[in-house]
Structures are given as structure tokens and as C-alpha cells.
Amino acid sequence: LAKTTQPISMDSYEGQEVNITCSHNNIATNDYITWYQQFPSQGPRFIIQGYKTKVTNEVASLFIPADRKSSTLSLPRVSLSDTAVYYCLGASGGSYIPTFGRGTSLIVHP
């Protein structure tokens, strides 16, 4: 299993950039790194996915170094509505079954 480790919680303020780092030391060669966002009592929602280097979409950026043993989700200029749990997923050792890590609870303050 591609086990992932990420901080349990983070605090930020509106307008700041937030970076959440996830470590995945035993990531398999074929594994992609995927991040999901979850609000209370809702299903997770896909944010971004990458294999290596940098990926950017309208919501976030994802940085993956060359060794792929970690990744960083970057949320630019967060707002109160970005308060949620963010999950870093590694696929299960090449089986492509995504495995949720413990998640990072991000709280954005006014």
C-alpha cells in the first residue's frame, strides 16, 4: 500500500497561500498522487492530480519533486469557504485503488 502521511491540522487566514505537504515514501512507479477536498457531511471532491513536477488548475497547484516521495498542495489566497479536510491519496501499490490518508483539517480564519 502507498501509505501517505500529512499534518492533522493547519490554520490560515483569508487571502493567504496555504501549502499542505504529504509524504508517500513507498509510492509505486505507476502511482499518481491525487488530492481530494471534503466538507462536513459531504462526499470528497477531486481537486488535483499529478505524477511528477508541477500541475496547476483553476483551484490549486501540485508540486511533486523528482524522487516523488512527497507532494505539496498549494491553495492560493484561501477564503473561509476553503475550510475543509484535504486528503492526499496514493494508489494501492499499483492496483490503482485509491487509499485515503488521515487528511489535513484546514481552518481558514477571517
Partner 1 sequence: DTEVTQTPKHLVMGMTNKKSLKCEQHMGHRAMYWYKQKAKKPPELMFVYSYEKLSINESVPSRFSPECPNSSLLNLHLHALQPEDSALYLCASSQDLGEPYNEQFFGPGTRLTVL
Which residues lie near partner 1 (CB under 8 A)? 30-32, 34, 36, 41-46, 49, 51, 87, 91, 95-103
DSSP line for 33-100: EEEEEE-TTS--EEEEEESSEEEE-SS-EEEE-TT-SEEEEEESS--GGG-EEEEEEEESTTS--EEE
Q: Choose between 13 and 46: whose C-beta lies nearer to partner 1.
A: 46
Q: Choose between 13 and 51: whose C-beta lies nearer to partner 1.
A: 51
- Shortest Cβ distance from residue 15 to partner 1 (Å)? 28
Q: Choose between 8 and 110: whose C-beta lies nearer to partner 1.
A: 8
